[in-house]
Chain A
């Protein structure tokens, strides 16, 4: 939190200034560095936002980064983050030019897209003209300027910084991100693509950057949209993206939300995804992860309207010393809701996968149908999977199940293919692709499914690393 903005906000500043002087020493150095760029933070001239930031920073100062002593962080250690000399991404006035933006959609240009480079919107690569009338698609800075009541309302809609230090950190320092708002009954039939590139700075300027994007997605009653969110890197730089995505799917609304995480192998990426589903809403959330040294998806999805249905799935392909954590809490709060959760992962080298999935059926939420499965293939001796699929059930008329498996390729299946003349490498590749394609089947956007299948093939072709 910037000392400058704290000074400007006398009514709430006492806590902040005391906190920055007393607890300041305990905060990671890169959090303190935000003091110098306070004025550059989006909405720095808005008292309501500064008050929220001050409150969130106090909460973060009290809790600090999560530690492995917290049950939800038992298998993922963020200790390394505290000592990296990150610089705030917004500190930099100019952003290196890029000559190409990757796309995950086929030939047709997407209807609308936003491109960010190191946290800054690149208007020359972005396009929003084709959107139906009334739909808002903008970066956070623009959205705050043009649609402040909307942003204020939806930022305030979710309290929840208590006990969530990564959310508190984002709420205090949010310095970018984007907003999508699809008004009641509007159907956006073509996919919207958001590309967030990091690590564009090369050569002399290699200070690791930290960025706290906030994403707001509001699909009002009866509206529909498809969102492809692509996290990619221009280099193998070290950086840290601490993302918070708040998603609201209204009554009868439908949102397909695909997250493709291909950050640099030295990057840290934490996304906290919080979603709320209204009556008869349908939310399809899919997450494909191959990047980052350490990544975590922390999803809290709440089914609060009768008939709401959630498809939550993903695939992770990790190697080397990568660490990929998928943690989720799905809350069934009312009767007649359904969720289907399918995750598949392959781990090679010294990679480590973590899957913690909890399904909660609240009292009275009868007729809940909750299915969860997580299957992992271990491809090497050093790989490790830690899975914790949880059911927490307080209603009796429910159907809930979960399954988790971990193991290697089936020797019989391998033998079958070899006996038909396939060499070992091809046979293994075929089996791994088949294993992962189950997860891709959950995607209802055929073009993307094709692209991700290619990604899997590409991952398989890369030489197997046998580091250490």
Chain B
């Protein structure tokens, strides 16, 4: 192994090696009994004062889930999940939903301060509203009043069920049906909280919306459900961040995100995923099994997914776009980093159904240590998708000889006027590039960081400014930081 490679491994290790969000908040919690059965589902539903249709839907999902096989096709290896050895509901004790920030348990507030998520509106960067989800419940949602002035609904999904039941009932499960896959079905049965967003026709959401997910309790799974509806001609940019404490056990995170874009609407969804990745030997860490799907229902609508996946022991995630409306656009920009024993099987699906639909996929994978990652993507052009266009680019960067990078794209074209292009490359950091930098007096470590940054640039540029900072920190600045 040459010096450049060992330096690169060191620098990448420093990104994920010291996980600084690994602390535990000591707080009084209310949990449902361990295990999963119909009573637990009734308990969750009762806790949230849900209408009977929703309980019925949950139970239908649960009964379906019982007979569903685990998805086996991903290139991941882990021991089977014991679904009975987990808590499905855990919430910080609160008398009632806090009316103002001052009513929130100070311990909770400190947690979010430590995470760098400002819940106090005046302290925030202007222009980001936050929904903070702690284990199973949403603890606070900021800037609601300002948003309401524009007609934007931004609240936890539990509240939305109470306050906007018609919208929830109409759209919940309409993109990801409860029968979709084992993890999504489990989520449909036991989802506890999540975010609901509705942007009325013609409104450009005045600020970035964001949710910060935190898993805290032991032996607890987090099952949040996010539903975003952008009505005709509206625009919204939504950000999502996540962290969890360091534990030796594996915790399950099975979320479902549904996006609906109507005529000429646009949704931009960004994720910086930094769940606890487990230690260097692969002990502990989050199983991140997420189903994210957006439907471009209207003409000229657009859904754009951007993800920076650095955490989790195992990532199983395929944010997808169903391009139903004519001239609709789907985008997927992804950076995935696997280090130590991390595994990631991630990618996207672009289903072209409408005429002149376009999609673009840019996936950048960095694999180091014993990490293994797979890009798995599907581009399907239906027989009616005349003039559809897709371009896919997948690049993998390998650092060290024990890691793996795999590319598994599926291309199904049933329309001759469609144009589908796929390109993929795999390489290590080239000696030429390093030599060029070193020759100009740039130290080796900086040069490696520079090359990695350049490799990811195309995707990092897609992130909203507020998030780009955090992402850069994860991908780039940490690399440079280790140089000292």
Contacts and interface: CB of A to CB of B under 8 A. Distances in A.
Given A404-B409, A405-B421, A397 B428 contact: yes
A399 interface: yes
Contact of B411 (A387, A394, A397): A387
Nearest to A348: B416
Contact of B418 (A389, A395, A396, A407): A407
Contacts of B73: 71
B26 interface: no
Contacts of A364: 401
Contact of A380 (B396, B416, B420, B423): B416
A262 interface: no
Contacts of B427: 398-400
Contacts of A378: 413, 415-416, 418
B454 to A, nearest CB: 18
Contact of B416 (A394, A402, A408): A408
B415 A381 contact: yes
A182 interface: no
A384 to B, nearest CB: 5
Given A71-B73, A393-B405, A394-B404, A404 B411 contact: yes
B398 to A, nearest CB: 4
A400 B410 CA distance: 18
Contacts of B167: none
B386 to A, nearest CB: 9
A160 B6 CA distance: 39
B399 interface: yes
The 6 tightest CB contacts between A and B, nearest first, are A378-B416, A396-B398, A407-B419, A387-B411, A391-B407, A406-B413
B150 interface: no
B420 A393 contact: no
B422 A403 contact: yes
A383 B407 CA distance: 26
25 contacts: A366-B401, A376-B413, A383-B414, A384-B413, A385-B413, A389-B407, A390-B408, A391-B406, A392-B404, A392-B406, A393-B396, A393-B398, A393-B404, A393-B426, A396-B428, A397-B428, A398-B426, A400-B426, A402-B422, A404-B409, A404-B411, A405-B419, A406-B419, A406-B420, A408-B416
Contacts, number: 115
A146 B415 CA distance: 55
B166 interface: no
A429 interface: no
B400 interface: yes
A401 interface: yes
Interface of B: 5, 73, 383, 396, 398-428
Contacts of A399: 426-427
B426 A390 contact: no
A378 B73 CA distance: 30
A389 to B, nearest CB: 6
B429 to A, nearest CB: 9
Contact of B409 (A380, A383, A389, A393): A389
A360 B425 CA distance: 13
Contacts of A389: 407, 409, 422, 424
A397 B407 CA distance: 17
B412 A405 contact: no
A232 B88 CA distance: 64
A278 B99 CA distance: 75
A405 B408 contact: no
Interface of A: 71, 363-364, 366, 376, 378-381, 383-408
A399 B3 CA distance: 20
Nearest to B392: A404
B416 A401 contact: no
Contacts of A366: 401
Contacts of B407: 389-391, 402
B401 A363 contact: yes
Given A406-B411, A407-B419, A408-B417, A401 B401 contact: no
B408 A388 contact: yes
B423 A401 contact: yes
A363 B401 CA distance: 7
A388 B409 contact: yes
A127 B428 CA distance: 53
A405 B389 CA distance: 11
Contacts of B417: 408
B337 to A, nearest CB: 15
A385 B398 CA distance: 31
Nearest to B407: A391
B411 A388 contact: yes
A250 B411 CA distance: 36
A320 to B, nearest CB: 16
Nearest to A397: B428
A387 B420 CA distance: 10
B468 to A, nearest CB: 28
B458 to A, nearest CB: 17
A395 B419 CA distance: 33
A364 B417 CA distance: 43
A392 B367 CA distance: 13
Given A71-B73, A398-B427, A404 B400 contact: no
B410 A388 contact: yes
B151 to A, nearest CB: 43
A397 B416 CA distance: 38
Q: Which of B404, B412, B416, B418 has the most CB of A within 10 A?
A: B416
A390 B425 contact: no
A395 B428 CA distance: 9
